[in-house]
Structure 1
Amino acid sequence: MEFDAPDGSAAPAASAEEWNPTADTLAPVRGKHRVAKQRGSLARSSTVLGVGVIAAVGAGGIATAQDKPAVSISLPDQITESLDSLADSLPDATSLPGVGALVGDADTDADDDDTADAGVAVAAAPAAATHASAGGQSTGAGESLRARILQQADQQRAAADEAVRQEAREQAVKDAAAEAKKAQKAADAKAEQAEKEQAAKEAREKAAAEAKAEAERLAKLAASFSLPVSSYTLTATYGQAGSMWSSGQHTGLDFAGQAGTPLKAVHGATVKSAGWSGPYGYRIVLELQDGTEVWYAHLSQMNVSAGQQVTTGQVIGNMGATGNVSGVHLHLEVHTPGGDGIDPAAWLRGKGLTV
């Protein structure tokens, strides 16, 4: 090796032993001394590792892609940067003494390594396919489970809906029954009220009919019966107590008036007797068809005789003051067919006459 002197002249060569290793003196170096191969191997190994990881993760991701969101997987940047920095800091293999000859072998080995790496990648492919197949089977099982869960949920929801509908139907039946019962109760109350109103109406109608019939009967009786005198004043009533009467009480009804006032037959009858009768003075007894007797006493004059038939309103005598009297009047008595005396005023009112 020669060096130029500072003045431009050639400097004498240094005496030093030159080291030139040969293939015979140096055995092929492998392992950690193959820096160039290591550099390429590191790069290729990291690449293969990344591919394997991505393949494995991809195979697993395929199995769960149906049910889970995709997960992004990558190597940390610090690892990649550290590997690149380490590779850059190593010297070039061709600059090392005695290594240049080995580059060819390194390339061959690199090719072998590439082939191995390719084999790894090829080996990883079936694994990925296996993972993909397992993922498919898992996806199928997941879909089946999901379908069963959805079917069960649908069945439960349908059962719940049916229970709600059944409860609604039962409640509707209860409401309808309650409404029907309420309506029936209202109808019964209405019918009862209608019956009461009808009964009251019928009672009113019946009372009205009876009153009408009674009025007609009284009118008919009034047409067939007559008061014994038209103009009068009542001076004594039936049962009235007093010392003027021998029995201690009055036995008839006294109509006071003017002497000679006409007296009329109260009803069609037969003259049972007509003549003097002691305290009664001149007296006429009329016997009606049912056996009732009507006595006219204290008459001043008699116009009929015994056995004679008279009609309603016919004049049979005149008012007077004969017998045991205190003034001019008609003493009227009424006796039943059995002979008992009764109140003339009540008897006359029963015939439709007003006294």
Structure 2
Amino acid sequence: MASNRPAPRAVYVPNDDDFGSYDEEPFEEWNPTEESIRPVRGRHRVHKKSGGGLARSSTVLGVGVIAAVGAGGIATAQGGKPPVSISMPDLGTVTDSLPEAKSLPGVGSLISDDDTSDTTTAAAASAPLTAAGVSTADAEQGTTDAGEALRARIMQQAENQQDQADAAVQTAAEDAAVKKAADEAAAQQKAAEKEAEAKAAAKKKKEEEARKAKAEAERLAKLAKSYAIPTSSYTLTSHFGDAGSMWSSGHHTGLDFAAPTGTPLKAVHTGTVKEAGWAGAYGYRTVLELEDGTEIWYCHQSSLNVSAGQKVTTGEVIGRVGATGNVTGPHLHLEVHTPDGTGIDPLGWLQGKGLNP
């Protein structure tokens, strides 16, 4: 740092009595002059402008303070620290209370009006106020100005926030896709399980039906051993319910087994002969009552082999095929009546006993 040249010391002039006494000459006050002081060069040189050099110095001081405050704000924005409140004095009041720069000893000569100083001042004013808060990355990117560095960092922060928002949207979309795929997989799994349950239920139902059918077949097979078809060498010609004028009721009331005259007629099941004799349009008829009260009618017989009150067993011969009564040819007219006297289909009844005429 440049400094002023030290002021010359007063010269001592001895007289004739320099070892005993001397004449004292009065000292003069030394005031620095433009010739006795080396001009100050460099950044500390103060330049004169209209309005007073000290006022300009005060302005420079104020700008420096503002730049420092700005740098502190940048550092706050960068570091995340809370801002510090700074109280600034009124620079105008401070300036008015200071003396003129020209009145200060040794300062007036430092103030110059040359053009070179103005150029230097302008260059200094156009330079960045401070480099506070400028990182190495900012210097490498060319954003060494504090304001530009702040702008760049704000832009970078905005880009980071946008990237985070985009990432959040993408993550939400991916989560939604994963959830949708999971829901679809769950629905497919549920549908598959439901289908498997339906198949299992159908299989179980089929197996149950097969079991029941088998049990029924076994029951009928066992039952069939105790029942018998009423005749042999026959042909079924008329069925229960057939309509025709040849029947007095307008429809057929039994099942006809056409067979040659004299073909044996057998008891379909163990029972008791309730009637055996002539029955008008039925010709010779035998009524066999079973243990449960069901009646079996054998009609149009050519001959009778049993009498009323007789006990018979399954397959025992009770008469023979004939053509007596209201007939068109030899056959067995078989009727089945429930205990209450209602006539039912003989074919269905025989099938219910395990027989298939």
TM-score (norm. length: structure 1): 0.54
Confirm or deny that 1:225 pairs with 2:216: no
Question: Could you tell me which of 337, 343, 350 is aligned with 1:335?
Answer: 337
- For 1:185, give the aligned amino acid: A
Q: Deviations over 1:121-170 (max 9, x none)?
A: xx9xx999999998998463556445544543443333222222211221
Distance 1:259 1:222 in 2: 27
Q: Deviations over 1:52-94 (max 9, x none)?
A: 9xxxxxxxxxxxxxxxxxxxxxxxxxxxxxxxxxxxxxxxxxx
* Partner residue, 2:271: 269
* Partner residue, 1:10: none
Report if the CA contact (8 A) 2:128-2:145 is conserved.
Answer: no
Distance 1:193 1:237 in 2: 46
Which of 1 and 2 has greater Rg?
1
* Partner residue, 2:291: 289
Instruction: Provide the identity percentage.
Output: 55
TM-score (norm. length: structure 2): 0.54
Confirm or deny that 1:140 pairs with 2:142: no
Report if the CA contact (8 A) 2:128-2:146 is conserved.
Answer: no
- For 2:340, give the aligned amino acid: G
Distance 2:284 2:231 in 1: 17
Q: Deviations over 1:7-53 (max 9, x none)?
A: xxxxxxxxxxxxxxxxxxxxxxxxxxxxxxxxxxxxxxxxxxxxx9x
Count, aligned residues? 238
- For 1:312, give the aligned amino acid: T
Distance 1:334 1:221 in 2: 18
Q: Secondary structure at the match of 2:225?
A: helix
Measured at CA, do residues 128 and 326 of structure 1 come closer, stay the same or move farther in structure 2, by a change above 3 Å? closer
Measured at CA, do residues 153 and 227 of structure 1 come closer, stay the same or move farther in structure 2, by a change above 3 Å? same
Structure 2, gaps ≥5 residues long: 1-41, 43-113, 133-143
Q: Deviations over 1:187-244 (max 9, x none)?
A: 3433443344344434434443444344344434433322101211234333445555
- Structure having the higher helix fraction is 1
Question: Could you tell me which of 319, 343, 346 is aligned with 1:344?
Answer: 346
How does 1:173-184 map onto structure 2 within 5 Å? 173-184=175-186
Moved more, 129-138 or 268-277: 129-138
Question: Could you tell me which of 311, 314, 318 is aligned with 1:312?
Answer: 314
- For 1:335, give the aligned amino acid: H
RMSD between aligned residues: 4.0
Residue 331 of structure 1: CA displacement? 1.9
Report if the CA contact (8 A) 2:285-2:298 is conserved.
Answer: yes
Measured at CA, do residues 353 and 160 of structure 1 come closer, stay the same or move farther in structure 2, by a change above 3 Å? same
Measured at CA, do residues 255 and 154 of structure 1 come closer, stay the same or move farther in structure 2, by a change above 3 Å? same
Distance 2:323 2:118 in 1: 161
* Partner residue, 1:72: none
Moved more, 234-243 or 288-297: 234-243
- For 2:131, give the aligned amino acid: G
Q: Secondary structure at the match of 1:224?
A: coil
- For 2:330, give the aligned amino acid: V
Measured at CA, do residues 147 and 190 of structure 1 come closer, stay the same or move farther in structure 2, by a change above 3 Å? same
Distance 1:240 1:164 in 2: 86
Distance 2:306 2:208 in 1: 45
* Partner residue, 2:301: 299
* Partner residue, 1:15: none
Measured at CA, do residues 342 and 150 of structure 1 come closer, stay the same or move farther in structure 2, by a change above 3 Å? same
Structure 1, gaps ≥5 residues long: 1-51, 53-122
Distance 1:153 1:249 in 2: 105
Distance 1:176 1:306 in 2: 89
Distance 1:135 1:193 in 2: 83
Moved more, 126-135 or 256-265: 126-135
Measured at CA, do residues 128 and 308 of structure 1 come closer, stay the same or move farther in structure 2, by a change above 3 Å? same
Residue 323 of structure 1: CA displacement? 4.0
Report if the CA contact (8 A) 2:289-2:295 is conserved.
Answer: yes
Distance 2:171 2:312 in 1: 90
Residue 281 of structure 1: CA displacement? 3.5
Residue 337 of structure 1: CA displacement? 1.3
Q: Secondary structure at the match of 2:170?
A: helix
Measured at CA, do residues 135 and 281 of structure 1 come closer, stay the same or move farther in structure 2, by a change above 3 Å? closer
Measured at CA, do residues 154 and 325 of structure 1 come closer, stay the same or move farther in structure 2, by a change above 3 Å? closer
- For 1:311, give the aligned amino acid: T
Distance 1:273 1:231 in 2: 26
Moved more, 327-336 or 199-208: 199-208
Distance 1:151 1:242 in 2: 111
Distance 2:302 2:220 in 1: 32
Q: Secondary structure at the match of 1:170?
A: helix
* Partner residue, 1:157: 159
Question: Could you tell me which of 254, 257, 260 is aligned with 1:258?
Answer: 260
Moved more, 126-135 or 213-222: 126-135
Distance 2:343 2:332 in 1: 17
